[in-house]
Amino acid sequence: MINKKSHESASVMLVATLALSASFLLPEDASASSKRFYRGTVSQSIVLADRMMEKGKYADAAKYYQAALKRNPRDTNANIGYGMALAKQFKIDGADDQFNKALSRDPKNPGALAGKALNMLNKLQSSSNTIRKNQENILKDAEAQAQKAIDADKQIPEAYYAMGMVYKEQGRLNEATAQLKRAVQLDPKYSDGYTGLGVIQLAQNNPAGAINNFKQSIKLNTGDWTAHYGMGQALLMQGKTDAALKELNIAQYQFPNSWPVRLALGKAFESQGNTVAAVREYQESIRIKPENPAAYLGISNVRETRGDLELSIAELRSGLELMPNNTDLLTRIGDQSLRVDKVDDAIKAFETALGVDPGNARAADGLTTAYYMKAQKETTGGYFGDNDFDNALSMIDRAVQMNPNDIRLRLAQAKLRALSGEDIDLSKVGQPTNDGERISYAQALMAQNKFTEANNELQLVLSHTNNAKQAFALADLELMIRDLDNAQAAYSKAATFPGASQRAQRGLAQVAKARETARRNLTLATDEARKGMKGSAVDTFHDAVAANPKSAPARLGLAKALEDAPKATPVQLREAAFQFRAYVALSPTMPPKEQEKFLSKAEKLDAKAGKRERRARS
């Protein structure tokens, strides 16, 4: 039996033997396996090292390249090969050192120039703030090095591969594809070229095309962990989780410290409902690369599914410490803050996201939803006059100016202006064309007390849900804005999907709790109003409306309490008018004469508020 020490000694002896054999010239039948950018005599050690590279055994290849360098420290070919082996292992400084040695002797060496370019891309995986801040300059330098490599020798596939991957990082996907196609045209057995094409097709949401390229790459080089990872990602996109896990586990075995592989494993386990394994992989991905927003969002998904929203927000904030301007983290914090009734925190998160990305429709929609919820608690739909609201409206107006054809932004603008008391003609905004727009449209309708039309939109969205995830997303949103009837319908539908019963029951329990809170507040407010506790009655009626904005009795009670307030301000009078109109809108069976009476009262209250405003100005 051979023990570990004996095995290691044998390895050392093998490398030494290879070093001694380095004086032999490259055999003719081995030339095809050597790099195109090698020049002059190539030692047997380099040939064997290259074969290790082709199998993805980069650490073993490095030993053979080192053996060649021990024999001849000025072997430029060995420097390049060794640098490539180190770069594949993300040993950035060591790789740079080898490429620089090669370039010091041969400044136009295409292999060394291509290697430098690829190694610069590896640097971008660093957590260093200095590197992250200089990403644009690093990419420009990498592009320059790749172009020098192409200029030095237009028959080098590695040079086109380097340029293609630089273009990919710059978001120039079509140009990247052209470069990589050129690489595989020059060498149909160049596995990295197929891997690069597959990665680009993943970015283009073409998993079928990506799989074909990854298969070709793996056929040529079974040790290419990136190809196995890409295959796993593509299979995940197709919903083939078990097959994806097989490929991802191979990639993880071949390169244990890859944060993208760990992230993909987390997504795969999450899709299977194995939340413990999912969180473990997400955390491992963060350990390897802390500036990794998708992993924080993945953990947030798991916490949210479990109902641990406060813990989820804490996880997101830990990511935000490293990436304070990440709009995905900011908008998720905003969304979840709304769900735990931390409206001011949500407003801050959405406004920060809009400050970073003024055209972010999701942040704009979230911000207006936050103000809609704030309106239910404070001055429901009547009037906002504070600086914070004016600032929010300015941000939304700016977003619309930048993206005038974005209907979600225009609906967010309409929603916010409706909350300020403006009469908005939604027909001029445009009709919604998808479910996201329909939800925004429904909220804009509710801000104008058009509850029946809003219900129609939301019921249409519910009819389009065809899995538990979609139904829960809609139900959670409706519960958040306290549209309790529609929330109940969405949770009930979610319960019909496999494996969703338990979470649906939790949602329905929350709906029931909100109804009970609204009932208690309405009872208390009515009692306070009867006892002449007018100030307290207004506050408690506001609480009742916030708990269930579609409660007609709560709207009527609030309207009367505001109307009867001692020395009612113009703001209170206008809100009373708004609440009377809301009461009518929520009472579709009310006799026409009764409707006319309340609507007339609302008109008189608006007029009275106008008179008091003019008197105050004179």
Q: Which residues of 403-423 are buried (b: 16+ CB within 10 A; e: fewer)?
A: beebbbbbbbbbbbbbbbbee
Domain-located, residue 385: yes
| The last residue of a domain, from among 445, 464, 483 | 464
Q: Which residues of the chain have pLDDT under 50?
A: 1-34, 380-385
pLDDT of 219: 93
Domain-located, residue 424: yes
As a whole-number percent, the residues of the chain with pLDDT over 90 amount to 57
Domain-located, residue 262: no
pLDDT in tens, 228-267: 999 999 999 999 999 999 999 999 999 888 999 999 999 9
115 Rama sector, left if φ>0, alpha if ψ -120 to 50, beta otherwise? alpha
pLDDT in tens, 14-40: 333 333 333 333 333 333 334 667 877
| The last residue of a domain, from among 437, 464, 491 | 464
Residue 111 neighbours by CB under 8 Å, 6+ apart: 35, 37, 38, 80, 84, 102, 149, 156, 158
452 and 576 in a single domain? The answer is no
Number of domains in the chain: 2
pLDDT of 379: 54
pLDDT of 472: 92
Domain-located, residue 53: no
Domain-located, residue 75: no
**For residue 614, which amino acid is it?**
R
| The last residue of a domain, from among 424, 449, 464 | 464
pTM: 0.73
Domain-located, residue 443: yes
> What does the radius of gyration of the chain's CA atoms come to, in whole angstroms?
32
pLDDT of 20: 31
460 and 346 in a single domain? The answer is yes
Listing DSSP states for 62-121 in one string gives HHHHHHHHHH-TT-HHHHHHHHHHHHHTT-HHHHHHHHHHHHHH-TT-HHHHHHHHHHHH
Residue 506's nearest CA partner among 492, 486, 485 is: 492
345 and 459 in a single domain? The answer is yes
Domain that holds residue 446: 327-464
Residue 477's nearest CA partner among 334, 271, 293 is: 334
CA 501 to chain centre: 27
Q: What does the DSSP 8-state code read for residue 27?
A: P
pLDDT of 45: 86
Domain-located, residue 83: no
Specify the CATH number for the domain of residue 459. 1.25.40.10
CA 295 to chain centre: 10
Domain-located, residue 605: yes
Question: CB burial class (10 A; 0-12, 13-18, 19+) of residue 370?
Answer: buried
For 68-71, which contacts have Cβ atoms below 8 Å and span 24 or more sequence positions?
68/19, 68/22, 68/43, 70/19, 71/19, 71/20, 71/22, 71/23, 71/43, 71/45
331 and 458 in a single domain? The answer is yes
